[in-house]
C-alpha cells in the first residue's frame, strides 16, 4: 500500500497534467483532445475517491483489462497456434501431439532444449488426466495449450512460418539419406592402429548427424555411438582459449598458416612457432595455454564445461582406457614437445608431462555424432549455440577457427578440400573409423564432396511457381517477374482456369508488365482460358484499350492474324475424318456466316488433291512437328462481305490431345 505522501505526490502529478492538458484544449478543441480531457477527468475522480486497494493494483488491473481488449482484436501467436491445432471433433481442445509432429517434420526435435518447458508443462497436464495418454494424443483446452506453448512460442511461430535456414527440410534430408546410403558402400581405408583402443574399432561403423544454425537436426546410422574426439578437440580447444585470452595473445605462440607437412612432423615455421593450432605441435601449445597456472583438475573441469555448453547440453564423456593408451604410445609427441621446449615455444615454465597428460585427456573426451554436430553448428552460428542461444565462443575466435578449419583442418588434404567441398549454414558430424593415407575418414571425405545447396526453396512444384508468378504480376512487381524469367521459369504457365500471367496483367491494367511479357519474355498472347478468352479480350472488357492494342499487335505478329479455337479430343475425332469436310462451330460472338464454315482437311501425311476441288484448296503444305502434322489451306467463302479467302491450320497431336484451329480472313 502507498502511504499518504506518495499518494499526494501522485495526485499532484495528475492535477498538474490535468491543468496543462486543459490549457492545451483552449488552443486546440479537436475531438482527440476532448477525449483525452475526459480521460484525465475520469482518472482524477478515481484518485479522489478513498480506496482500500493500492494504485499499483489498480493500474495493473487496468493494464490487464486493456491487454484483454487488445487481444480480442489482435489474436496472439498462442491463439493462432491453438486455432491451427484444434480438433475437428472437439473444437474446444487442441492437440499438442500434432504440433510436436509438425515441428518434427521441420527438424525440430522434442528433446530440443528450447522446448524443455513446453514438454515439462505438457507432462504435468498428462499426470492430471485420468486416461492413459501419450504425447502424440495429448488434448488440452485453450488455456492449458497456450500455457504449454508460451515459453517456446518464438520457436514454434518461426517454425510454423517455415522461416528456417533450410525451408525444404523433407527434400533436404531425403537427399542426405541418399548420399549417406551411397557412401555406406565404400569399404576403402584402414582403421587407425597407433593405439590399441582405436585399432579395435569396427570399420563398419557409419554415423551421421546434422544440426543447422536454427536447430534443425537429423541423424542416421550410428549417430549415438560414443567415440573419442581425438584431433577434433584441436579446433574447439583453440576457439576456447582464444575466447578466454584473446586471439592475438594465442598467436604469439602459434601461427595460422598451413604447414604443407605431415600433421605430426617435428618442425616449426620461420618464426620458430608451430605452423597452426590444428597440427600436433600447435595443439600441444594451445593446450598449455588453457587456464595456465591453474590446477590440472580445474583446467580439465573448465574445458569439460565449455564443451558441454558448445554441445547444448549434449553428451560429453571421458574414455580412460583411450587416455592410458595415448600416454603409453606418446613417444613422438614427447619428442615434439622437447623440441619445442628447446626452441622456447611454451609459455613460461611448464611441466611437459602435465601438459601432455592434459593434451591426451582432451583427445580422450567422448562424444557422439549428435553432440558434435551441435558443437559444429555453434561455430557455424558465430559462436552461439543454436539450441540454447548461449554465446560460447567470441566472434573473432569463431571466425578465425572457421578459417583455420577451412585451410588447415584436413591436414594435407585441406587444399583439395577447399576446392571440392564448402561447408556452410550448419554443423555436420560424420564418424567412420576407416581412414585414408592423409588420416581423414574415407566415407567422410566422399560424403562432403556431394554438394547441394539446402538454402534454396527450390525444387518447387509448378503450382507454387504459378502462384508466385501471379502474385508478382498482381502487385506489378516487375523485378520479381524478371528474376523468375532469368531463372528459366516458363512465364506461359497457366492456373487452374487456364489464365496466364498475361491475362492477369491485361485485366489489371499493368502496362509495364504487359510490355515485359510481350517484348522481353515473348509469351504467347494467343492462349485462351477456360472461358475461351485471350488476354486481348480481358483488356477490352476492362477498358484498357492501349493494352488491348499492344496485345492484338503481338497476336498478329505471331499468327499472322490467325484466331485460335480449341476443340476437345472427343469432338476432334468427330470433326476430323480421314477425308472430307469439317464443320467448325465458332464462338457465339462470331458472325452468322462464320458459325457454319466448312474447311477441307485431310489427316493423311500425303495430301491428295484428287479429293478436293481446285478452287477450294490452293498451295497446300505440310509441316511435321513430332507426331503433329499441319495443313495450310485456302478456301473461298461466299457471303462474307469483303473477306475473299480463308487460311486454316489444323494441328493434331495424334495422342488424344487437344487440336488448335487457327483461322484468318483476308481481304
Averaged pLDDT, 246-253: 92
Q: Is the dihedral of CA 463, 469, 470, 475 positive or negative?
A: positive
- Report pLDDT for 481: 86
Residue 59, pLDDT above cutoff 90? no
Residue 118 sits in which domain range?
77-160
Domain boundary among 48, 67, 86: 67
Q: Does any domain span residue 194?
A: yes
Residue among 163, 167, 156, 165 at smallest CA distance from 98: 156
Q: Percentage of residues in the chain with pLDDT exceeding 90?
A: 30
Backbone angles phi, psi at 16, to 5 degrees: -65, -45
CA distance 594 to 249: 91
Helix (H) or strand (E) holding 448: helix 442-448
> What is the tens place of the pLDDT at every residue in 654-665?
433 333 444 333
Q: What is the pLDDT of residue 171?
A: 86
pTM value surpassing 0.75: no
Q: Can you give the pLDDT at residue 34?
A: 52
Count of domains observed in the chain? 5
Asked if residue 309 is part of any domain, the answer here is yes
Average pLDDT, the chain: 74
Q: Give the domain-ending residue among 513, 535, 561.
A: 561
Count the neighbouring beta carbons within 10 Å of the beta carbon of residue 596: 10
End-of-domain residue from the set 67, 98, 119: 67
Residue 174: inside a domain: no
Residue with cell 566422399: 446
The pLDDT score that the predictor gives to residue 115 is 93
Per residue in 581-635, pLDDT tens? 444 444 445 444 333 333 333 332 223 333 333 333 333 333 333 333 333 333 3
- Which grid cell is 56? 499499483
- The pLDDT of residue 556: 80
**Residue 102 and residue 235 in one domain:** no
Answer whether residue 170 is part of any domain: no
Instruction: Indicate which CATH number applies to the domain containing 294.
Output: 3.40.710.10
Looking at residue 539, the DSSP 8-state letter turns out to be H
Residue 54 banded pLDDT, cuts 50, 70, 90? low
Same domain membership, residue 471 and residue 397: no
> pLDDT tens, 83-125?
878 876 777 888 888 889 889 999 999 999 999 999 998 888 8
Decide if pLDDT at 384 tops 90. yes
In the DSSP assignment, the letter for residue 391 is: B
Examine the pLDDT at 361 and tell me if it is beyond 90. yes
pLDDT at 363 over 90: yes
Question: DSSP code of 367?
Answer: E
Kindly report, residue by residue over 485-502, the tens digit of the pLDDT. Answer: 867 788 888 888 889 999
Going by C-alpha positions, the residue among 52, 74, 64, 384 that lies closest to residue 214 is 384
Sequence-separated (6 or more) residues with CB below 8 Å from residue 509:
542, 544, 547
User: Residue 162: what pLDDT?
Assistant: 81
Residues 6+ apart with CB under 8 A from 658: 566, 567, 568, 569, 572
| Residue (of 194, 209, 360) closest to 280 by Cα position | 360
pLDDT of res. 267? 81
Q: Is the CB of residue 500 less than 8 Å from the CB of residue 507?
A: no
Give the per-residue pLDDT at 83.
Answer: 81
Q: Answer whether residue 415 is part of any domain.
A: yes
Q: How far apart are the two ends of the chain, measured CA to CA in Å?
A: 99
Continuous segment of H or E residues that includes residue 67: helix 55-73
pLDDT tens-digit map of 270-325:
888 898 898 889 999 999 999 998 999 999 999 999 999 999 999 999 999 999 99
C-alpha cell at 247: 586471439
Other C-beta atoms lying within 10 Å of the C-beta of residue 449: 13
pLDDT, residue 201, reads: 86
**Domain for residue 641, yes or no?**
yes
Residues 337 and 407 in one domain: yes
Give dist(CA 318, CA 297) in Å, integer: 14
Q: Which residues contact 289 (CB under 8 A, 6 or more apart)?
A: 241, 245, 250, 253, 347
- Tell me the three cell numbers of residue 432: 567412420
pLDDT band, very low/low/confident/very high, at 1 (cuts 50, 70, 90): very low
| pLDDT tens per residue, range 198-245 | 888 888 999 999 999 999 999 999 999 999 998 889 999 999 999 999
Examine the domain organization and report whether 478 and 575 are in the same domain.
no
Domain CATH for 537 = 1.25.40.20
Amino acid at each position: 500500500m502507498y502511504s499518504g505522501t506518495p499518494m499526494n505526490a501522485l495526485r499532484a502529478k495528475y492535477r498538474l497534467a490535468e491543468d496543462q492538458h486543459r490549457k492545451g484544449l483552449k488552443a486546440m478543441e479537436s475531438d482527440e483532445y476532448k477525449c483525452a480531457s475526459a480521460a484525465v477527468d475520469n482518472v482524477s475522480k478515481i484518485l479522489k475517491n478513498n480506496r482500500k486497494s493500492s494504485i499499483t493494483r489498480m493500474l495493473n488491473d487496468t493494464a490487464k483489462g486493456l491487454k484483454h481488449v487488445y487481444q480480442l482484436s489482435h489474436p496472439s501467436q498462442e491463439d493462432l497456434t491453438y486455432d491451427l491445432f484444434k480438433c475437428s471433433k472437439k473444437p474446444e481442445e487442441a492437440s499438442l501431439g500434432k504440433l510436436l509432429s509438425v515441428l518434427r517434420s521441420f527438424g525440430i526435435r522434442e528433446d530440443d532444449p528450447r522446448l524443455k518447458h513446453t514438454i515439462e508443462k505438457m507432462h504435468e497436464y498428462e499426470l492430471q488426466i485420468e486416461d492413459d495418454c501419450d504425447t502424440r494424443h495429448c488434448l488440452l483446452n485453450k488455456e492449458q495449450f497456450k500455457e504449454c506453448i508460451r515459453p517456446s512460442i518464438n520457436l514454434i511461430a518461426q517454425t510454423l512460418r517455415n522461416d528456417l535456414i533450410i525451408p525444404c527440410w523433407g527434400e533436404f534430408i531425403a537427399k542426405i539419406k541418399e548420399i549417406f546410403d551411397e557412401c555406406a558402400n565404400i569399404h576403402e581405408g584402414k582403421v587407425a592402429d597407433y593405439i590399441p583402443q582405436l585399432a579395435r574399432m569396427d570399420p563398419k561403423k557409419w554415423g551421421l548427424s546434422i544440426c543447422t544454425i536454427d536447430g534443425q537436426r537429423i541423424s542416421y546410422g550410428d549417430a549415438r555411438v560414443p567415440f573419442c574426439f581425438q584431433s577434433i578437440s584441436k579446433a574447439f580447444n583453440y576457439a576456447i582459449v582464444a575466447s578466454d585470452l584473446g586471439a592475438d595473445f594465442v598467436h604469439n605462440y602459434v601461427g595460422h598458416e598451413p604447414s604443407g607437412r605431415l600433421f605430426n612432423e617435428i618442425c616449426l615455421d620461420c618464426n620458430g612457432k608451430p605452423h597452426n593450432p590444428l597440427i600436433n605441435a600447435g595443439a600441444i601449445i594451445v593446450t598449455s595455454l588453457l587456464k595456465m597456472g591453474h590446477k590440472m583438475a580445474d583446467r580439465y573441469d573448465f574445458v569439460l564445461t565449455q564443451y558441454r555448453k558448445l554441445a547444448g547440453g549434449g553428451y560429453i564423456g571421458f574414455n580412460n582406457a583411450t587416455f592410458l593408451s595415448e600416454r603409453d604410445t606418446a613417444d613422438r609427441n614427447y619428442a615434439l614437445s622437447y623440441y619445442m621446449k628447446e626452441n622456447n615455444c611454451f609459455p613460461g615454465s611448464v611441466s611437459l608431462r602435465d601438459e601432455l597428460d592434459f593434451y591426451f585427456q582432451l583427445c580422450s573426451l567422448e562424444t557422439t555424432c549428435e553432440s558434435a554436430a551441435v558443437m559444429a553448428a555453434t561455430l557455424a552460428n558465430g559462436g552461439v549455440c543454436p539450441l540454447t542461444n548461449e554465446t560460447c565462443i567470441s566472434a573473432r575466435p569463431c571466425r578465425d577457427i572457421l578459417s583455420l578449419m577451412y585451410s588447415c583442418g584436413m591436414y594435407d588434404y585441406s587444399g583439395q578440400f577447399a576446392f571440392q567441398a564448402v561447408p556452410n549454414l550448419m554443423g555436420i558430424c560424420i564418424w567412420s573409423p576407416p581412414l585414408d593415407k592423409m588420416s581423414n575418414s574415407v566415407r567422410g571425405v566422399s560424403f562432403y564432396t556431394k554438394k547441394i545447396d539446402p538454402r534454396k526453396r527450390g525444387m518447387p512444384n509448378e503450382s507454387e511457381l504459378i502462384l508466385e508468378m501471379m502474385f508478382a504480376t498482381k502487385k506489378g512487381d516487375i523485378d520479381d517477374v524478371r528474376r523468375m524469367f532469368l531463372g528459366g521459369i516458363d512465364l506461359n504457365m497457366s492456373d487452374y482456369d487456364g489464365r496466364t500471367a498475361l491475362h492477369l496483367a491485361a485485366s489489371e491494367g499493368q502496362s509495364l508488365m504487359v510490355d515485359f511479357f510481350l517484348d522481353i519474355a515473348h509469351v504467347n498472347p494467343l492462349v485462351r482460358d477456360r472461358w475461351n478468352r485471350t488476354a486481348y479480350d480481358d483488356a477490352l472488357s476492362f477498358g484498357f484499350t492501349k493494352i488491348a492494342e499492344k496485345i492484338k499487335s503481338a497476336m498478329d505478329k505471331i499468327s499472322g492474324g490467325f484466331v485460335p479455337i480449341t476443340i476437345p479430343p472427343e469432338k476432334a475425332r468427330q470433326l476430323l475424318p480421314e477425308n472430307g469436310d469439317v464443320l467448325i462451330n465458332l464462338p457465339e460472338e462470331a458472325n452468322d456466316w462464320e458459325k457454319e464454315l466448312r474447311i477441307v482437311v485431310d489427316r493423311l501425311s500425303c495430301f491428295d488433291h484428287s479429293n478436293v476441288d481446285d478452287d477450294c484448296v490452293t498451295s497446300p503444305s505440310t509441316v511435321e512437328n513430332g507426331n503433329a502434322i499441319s495443313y495450310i489451306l485456302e478456301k473461298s467463302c461466299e457471303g462474307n462481305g469483303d473477306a475473299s479467302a480463308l487460311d486454316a491450320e489444323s494441328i493434331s497431336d495424334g495422342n488424344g490431345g487437344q487440336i488448335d484451329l487457327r483461322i484468318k480472313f483476308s481481304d
